[in-house]
Amino acid sequence: TNDADVQGQPHALNISIIGAGATGVELAAELRLASRELPIYGMNHLKSSDVSISVIEAADRILPALPGRLSAAATRELERQKVKVLTGQPVSEVRENSLIMKDGTELPSEMTIWAAGIKAPPFLAELDGLETNRGNQLLVEQTLKTTKDADIFAFGDCAACPQPESDRPVPPRAQAAHQQADALFKTLCNRLEGKEAVPFVYNDHGSLINFSKYTTVGNLMGNLSGRSMYIEGKVARLFYVSLYRMHQVALHGFLRTGVIWLMDKISRAMQPRLKLH
């Protein structure tokens, strides 16, 4: 890259992404790519090195919910892309053109993106007689029954489901929602036959983090061994793209997915990756 080192220089544009989960980290890489393609958007006065991109995380490492090796690889990749990584730094206030950190430091930020996690809609906390947590998720038992009413079930992002041998609930992820749907289907069938509900156990198949067109890193969990295998580069990218297409096949079938794939190819050749206006 031809970018000047962005550390410590005044910049024409300071972009801050608050929250270094997968969403914040992937967005940082996409924005860095977009900043390198600014001339394509007619912004010839702005160079990539004029754009400072910072990812700010309250935990002591980025991707705190994922294995440490992934965090380390992601940090290295972001720094290679001239993205500043600030960890252990909770943001306490967002102002129009700056951020105030918990320790009182003020950071310039003309564009601030909040990516610090999900929150379920507030009306869930107002439902009569059901328990919710700080994020408005309905508290459920391992069987996905709500804690206060055995006839009401909840699953997916809107539910906080306990995990055996962990003090953290099942993470809000597509693979968890998918597995919970299967478990709940069995429970409902059992219920019709007067049988017991099925306790849900989350099976983490791994995670993949995509750094725009630069690289992909991830870990895959061995189903039998339960051990995690670290992957990166072309192999990780192949898994990432295949998973995406497999989801599309599950939703639309092979034929439509083929058409979508072709349309994606055409639009990629004709349109920018990120639409900036």
Ligand X SMILES: Cc1cc2nc3c(=O)[nH]c(=O)nc-3n(C[C@H](O)[C@H](O)[C@H](O)COP(=O)(O)OP(=O)(O)OC[C@H]3O[C@@H](n4cnc5c(N)ncnc54)[C@H](O)[C@@H]3O)c2cc1C
The nearest distance, CB 160 to ligand X, in angstroms, is 12
User: In sequence order, which ranges of the chain are alpha helices (DSSP H)?
Assistant: 22-36, 68-80, 123-126, 174-192, 233-270
Residues found near ligand X in the complex (CB under 6 A): 22-23, 121, 156-157, 172-175, 177
The nearest distance, CB 156 to ligand X, in angstroms, is 2
CB-wise, 156 or 169, nearer to ligand X?
Answer: 156
The nearest distance, CB 39 to ligand X, in angstroms, is 28
The nearest distance, CB 50 to ligand X, in angstroms, is 27
The nearest distance, CB 202 to ligand X, in angstroms, is 11
Q: Which residues of 68-91 are buried (b: 16+ CB within 10 A; e: fewer)?
A: eebbebbbebbeebbbbbbbebeb
d(CA 64, CA 69): 11
Sign of CA dihedral 92, 17, 220, 179: positive
User: Which residues have C-beta within 8 Å of that of residue 38, sequence separation ≥ 6?
Assistant: 44, 46, 47, 48, 51
CB-wise, 48 or 219, nearer to ligand X?
Answer: 219
d(CA 101, CA 115): 16
- For residue 249, count other CB atoms closer than 10 A to its CB: 14
The nearest distance, CB 175 to ligand X, in angstroms, is 5
The residue whose Cβ lies closest to ligand X is 156
CB-wise, 4 or 174, nearer to ligand X?
Answer: 174
CB-wise, 19 or 156, nearer to ligand X?
Answer: 156
Instruction: Let me know: does 18 contact 109? Beta carbons within 8 Å.
Output: no
The nearest distance, CB 113 to ligand X, in angstroms, is 12
106 DSSP assignment = E
If we measure between CA atoms, which residue out of 167, 142, 171 comes closest to residue 65?
171
The nearest distance, CB 217 to ligand X, in angstroms, is 13
CB-wise, 47 or 173, nearer to ligand X?
Answer: 173
197 DSSP assignment = P
CB-wise, 35 or 210, nearer to ligand X?
Answer: 210
Largest CA distance in the chain: 70
CB-wise, 22 or 33, nearer to ligand X?
Answer: 22
d(CA 30, CA 37): 11
| Cα distances (angstroms) measured from residue 202 to each of 41, 163, 224, 268, 273 | 44, 7, 14, 36, 34
CB-wise, 169 or 172, nearer to ligand X?
Answer: 172
